[in-house]
A and B are shown apart, each in its own frame.
Chain A
């Protein structure tokens, strides 16, 4: 009797472990499946309601944290700084673009977010709990026009891209997720590279593939490059602010610079964001 029970327990444990590996295999071979979408669709209204109900409690805890960390800022100055920074980065990007366009004798319109995009405002209703994933769930989905690969921004700058969509919710892979890569350029220098995350540190990004002969220094702004070539194009429109260079140094014996930047968007405390839908992807 006891042996039978032990055998049954072992069989159940083996079944669960095999089940986990089978799920991993299925997900990696087919991508996100119907079960996930179904469960997410069922739970997203509950999550949305829970998110709203728990917002005061969250704000309270975050307030304590911010007070403890002496992060309390004057909201008016903060707003002004945001506006000034956006203007400055937008102007620098526009100037850079203008110079290039003059050189090439082409005419085009420039701006922080190009026309043709239809921004959809969404609220963050869930967030990945482990330090290894950097995903957030929004309360807007395909029913609102959101599609996979749509860029996501907030008032400060680039946040990430939509990685999965259900009818009423969407998952955003943040630019600090380990699988994120954003083609970017330094303004006003115009030096291009790829922004990669530094996993586990949401306040640090790495701008890779920067030619060591190009002079790049701290305090310069980095914006999305938004390239287009031979029918292919970047997921991100050009000139969306990403961050500010904090440190630039040549890696020894390498022909590339390692540039660290601080993202403008506070990715640890996201609330309202905009999904740029309808762009030419």
Chain B
């Protein structure tokens, strides 16, 4: 990704809009008794499009804004989302896999990872009270939501950041060999 001041402004707007939409919309709707968490998916898409450093910085900033707005312990959200963004970027840099299934699958896997990491951070900082087994169900449903929402989020961000993206070379279609019948 080529980072120009205009692109940085767009990245900031995407992050702010994502956090506000998450808090005001996605967290307040319930499908199958679970609210979707689109922020890990958003960070995954930024990491996939911009690489590990863009993913890590975006994740840190989005996590920081989330913790600020919810007046939660600062740093927990940043740590988890920066890891998610870094891993997504690393995937793009290490593996040359360019199928349309990559964004939703990665969103699904890394959302589950993010939810587990949020739990780990909470355990690390002292989790009071018992944990219901329903947590696992909620995390799995959130991952399924991330799979569904991953592709539209990826396309939306790709469109918004198009001027900064290095296009993959498109392979020309292989010429057809003439058949015996000459068709």
A positions within 8 Å CB-CB of B? 9, 12-13, 16-17, 19-28, 32-33, 35-37, 39-40, 43, 46-47, 50-51, 54, 57-58, 61-62, 64-65, 69, 124-133, 135, 137, 163-164, 166, 171, 178-181, 196-201, 204, 206, 268-269
Contact = CB atoms under 8 A, between A and B. Distances in A.
A72 to B, nearest CB: 15
B68 A27 contact: no
B75 A27 contact: yes
A65 B28 contact: no
Interface in B102-139: 115, 118-119, 122, 125, 127-136, 138-139
B32 A65 contact: yes
Interface string B43-59: 00000000011001100
Contacts of A61: 29, 31
Interface residues of B, number: 58
Contacts of B24: 47, 50-51, 54, 125-126
B169 interface: no
B15 interface: no
A196 B27 CA distance: 23
A213 B70 CA distance: 42
9 nearest A-B residue pairs (beta carbon): A200-B135, A23-B75, A24-B75, A126-B23, A201-B132, A20-B79, A127-B27, A39-B68, A23-B74
Interface string B130-156: 111111101100100000000000000
Contact of B74 (A36, A51, A126, A132): A36
Contact of B52 (A9, A22, A24, A65): A9
Contacts of B70: 126, 128, 133, 135, 137, 171
A16 B119 CA distance: 20
Given A132-B122, A198-B129, A268-B30, A36 B75 contact: no
Contacts of B73: 24, 27-28
B88 interface: no
A46 B17 CA distance: 10
Contacts of A197: 129-130
Contact of A58 (B29, B72, B128, B142): B29
9 contacts: A20-B75, A32-B71, A36-B74, A125-B24, A126-B69, A129-B39, A129-B66, A171-B71, A197-B130
Contact of A164 (B63, B71, B133): B71
A39 B29 CA distance: 24
B33 interface: yes
Given A20-B75, A197-B129, A199-B129, A129 B26 contact: yes
B176 to A, nearest CB: 42
Nearest to B38: A129
B135 A131 contact: yes
